[in-house]
Amino acid sequence: MRIYLDNAATTPLDAEVIEEMCSVMKNNFGNPSSIHGFGRETKVLIENARKKVAGFLNVSPGEIIFTSGGTEANNTAIYGSIHDLGITHAITSPIEHHAVLHTLENLAHKGKIKLSLVKLHKNGDVDLAHLEELLKSNPRSFVSLMHANNEIGNLLPFKEVSNLCRENNAIFHSDTVQSMAHYPMNLQEMNVDYVTCAAHKFHGPKGVGFLYINSNVKIKPFIHGGAQERNMRGGTENLYGIVGLAKAMEVAYTQMNEHQTHIRGIKNYMITRLKDEIAGVEFNGDSASENSLYTVLNVCFPATENAEMFLFNLDIYGIAASGGSACSSGSNQGSHVLRAVNCDMSRPCVRFSFSKYTTKNEIDYCIEKVKTIYPALIQL
């Protein structure tokens, strides 16, 4: 039996996405920049994909720039804002993805910006009063706060943050890699300057994503070269990836409510079984609350001998999940996110993440194996 509970890392491709991509792979190969018929055909496919994506987000197609994924999209927004908008102060949180945190830390290290980290509440939520303080004492800041945390599932109070940013003349970037195509998003209403996407988080292909850039913000390219992506990103477009991304988004939007209900049900079922059957189990961050990212559950298991063997044992039983604590992540320090929310890093912490394909039977199997692993670890 092989069970995949690591959907926040990546998701399997949807069959409809594979079909759409294969059809384009078989029938279209022209360079979208070529002016002949072969090129015009693929250009149309890309522009149709852009229109589709823009339509779902209620923005104009010119505000969508396809990239190689979430990391590049985040880097483009950050570098562009710091280099081209004359910004010298940035605000982020200690639990951002490294694609944001390391990029900003690197700019601070080089002396290009001063970087402030906003305080968090105990559960990992952003302390909005502190954010406001930082904004007021640093007018015209660049703010980068993720919509949904990939490890502990906290959701940002988006509208409150965007209002604070607008009131204080700040530029607002949000890493929406984990929430894109999982929640409806009306970017006009959300009043944000940049959001980012990686298609492989919602059953699309790897190596493709996009950056939404609000038309009010004028930045220069991050990757220089040809005039592709309306002069915003040089390089021949990832045609098959872009087509796959748009199809994955379409599939996700068609059945978003059903999938959300199904996945939320799976997550709540796992929470209940863990609470009932594993004494002393806890949940990290906000991941067990109703108001968290419905695809992610971060479990802090009770302390046990040989805790570092926990994830390895799950893998032996065919269960794929991610570690977070020092003992389960393969790194001495463990996850920067769990550390920031003061999790007990000597306990085995495991992030289980779900998709529309996850079944209740799989959760049953997982719980049974967890119950087998525990006594075995103590006897090792």
Kindly list the residues in this chain that would bind ligand PLP in the complex (CB under 6 A): 69-71, 97, 99, 146, 150, 175, 177-178, 198, 209
Query: Active site includes 327?
Result: yes
Least Å distance between CB 175 and ligand PLP?
5
First to last CA, the chain: 24
CA distances from 233 to 72, 220, 230, 244 (A): 10, 9, 8, 19
Can you read off the two tokens belonging to residue 278?
């594993």
Residue whose structure tokens are 């799950």 = 314
What does the buried/exposed string (b/e) look like for 324-346 if buried means 16 or more CB atoms within 10 Å of the residue's CB?
bbbbbbeeeebbbbbbbbebebe
Structural contact between residues 210 and 53, judged by C-beta atoms closer than 8 angstroms = yes
Range list of H helices, 6-157? 15-27, 37-57, 70-84, 98-109, 128-137
Residues 347, 308: Cα–Cα separation, whole Å = 9
In this complex, which beta carbon is closest to ligand PLP, that of residue 6 or of residue 63? 6
Residues 332, 335: Cα–Cα separation, whole Å = 9
In this complex, which beta carbon is closest to ligand PLP, that of residue 57 or of residue 274? 57
- Identify which of 203, 205, 185 has the alpha carbon closest to the alpha carbon of residue 195: 185
In this complex, which beta carbon is closest to ligand PLP, that of residue 97 or of residue 356? 97
Least Å distance between CB 181 and ligand PLP?
13
Count of Cβ atoms closer than 10 Å to residue 317 Cβ: 16
In this complex, which beta carbon is closest to ligand PLP, that of residue 141 or of residue 178? 178
In this complex, which beta carbon is closest to ligand PLP, that of residue 93 or of residue 358? 93
* Active-site residue, from 197, 300, 327, 349: 327
Chain centre to alpha carbon of residue 88? 26
Least Å distance between CB 100 and ligand PLP?
7
Least Å distance between CB 187 and ligand PLP?
17
Least Å distance between CB 273 and ligand PLP?
26
Give me the active site residues, please.
Answer: 327
